[in-house]
Structure 1
Amino acid sequence: MLKDMTRAALAAALLVAGLSSSLPAAAQGYPPPPPPPGAVPGAVIVPMAPPAPRVEVVPAPPPYAAVWQAGFWRWDGYRYRWIRGHYVRPPRERHEWVAGHWEERPGGHIWIEGFWR
């Protein structure tokens, strides 16, 4: 009987050990690994480079003040998807659009969002 209880306890311990090894480090009580050098907080590192940008035909501007925002490749978690360019009204007069771009970093590529300056 003692032998059966020992086997059951050992089996339970092995089961728990096997389950905990598949948990993230933080769930096991360990701190997460440090981010790679040059990482941007909250940025997703994509292991493969984006395709070359597509050539877009820029339509005539609208009859109001607008800035053309060129198309770009967006990573959706599985693959790159093309986001078409479009005209946008600037938030204020004389604001300039700085386009987003992909940057190579250790471990892959990250997207740097565009912004108004």
Structure 2
Amino acid sequence: MALSVGAASLLSVGALTVPTAAQAQPVVIQVAPPPPRSERVPPPRRGYVWAPGHYEWRGGRHVWTRGVWVRARPGYAYRAPEWREEGGRWQYNAGRWDRDGDGVPNRYDRRPNNPNRN
């Protein structure tokens, strides 16, 4: 019995850390997110960046996720999660780290680390 409980908890932890194919796909919906909630931003914390609260699409509806501190990554700029509307459809872009701070995801950036970016 103890072995099966331990194995089950190990599997559940693994499920949290390995993204599924569905998670890798961008979320595109036709329902606009509600206005962002007002959130008290705590005082700065050394070595961390504040990731603001935002709405995520889960279970066919918008669900508020509170802001959290994330460990800073030297040499990277943090891009907060956002919803963008294009042609009546809404796409969710998850929070991410950007190497050169130009807003272009690193995998699509033709000139990463460009010191002369605008």
Three-state SS of the structure 2 residue aligned to 1:45 is strand
Three-state SS of the structure 1 residue aligned to 2:29 is coil
Contact 1:69 1:99 in 2 (8 A): yes
Kindly tell me: are residues 108 and 77 of structure 1, through their superposed partners in 2, closer, same or farther at Cα, counting changes over 3 Å? farther
In the alignment, does 2:20 pair up with 1:56? no
Kindly tell me: are residues 61 and 51 of structure 1, through their superposed partners in 2, closer, same or farther at Cα, counting changes over 3 Å? same
In the alignment, does 2:49 pair up with 1:80? no
Gap regions ≥5 residues in structure 2: 1-23, 99-118
What is the CA-CA distance between 1:95 and the residue it aligns to? Answer: 2.5
Percent identity among equivalent residues? 36
State the partner residue of 2:77.
96
When normalised by structure 2's length, the TM-score is 0.56
Gap regions ≥5 residues in structure 1: 1-40
CA RMSD, Structure 1 to Structure 2 (Å): 1.9
In the alignment, does 2:51 pair up with 1:69? yes
CA deviation vs aligned residue, 1:41-79 (integer Å, no higher than 9, x gap):
9323211100001110012334x3111110000000311
- Specify which structure has the bigger relative contact order, considering alpha-carbon pairs within 8 angstroms and separated by 6 or more residues: 1
Structure 2 letter corresponding to 1:103: R
Question: Which has the higher Rg, Structure 1 or Structure 2?
Answer: 1
Which structure: greater strand fraction? 2
Moved over 6 A (4+): none
CA deviation vs aligned residue, 1:28-52 (integer Å, no higher than 9, x gap):
xxxxxxxxxxxxx932321110000
Aligned ranges 1:1-117 → 2 under 5 Å: 42-62=25-45, 64-91=46-73, 93-117=74-98
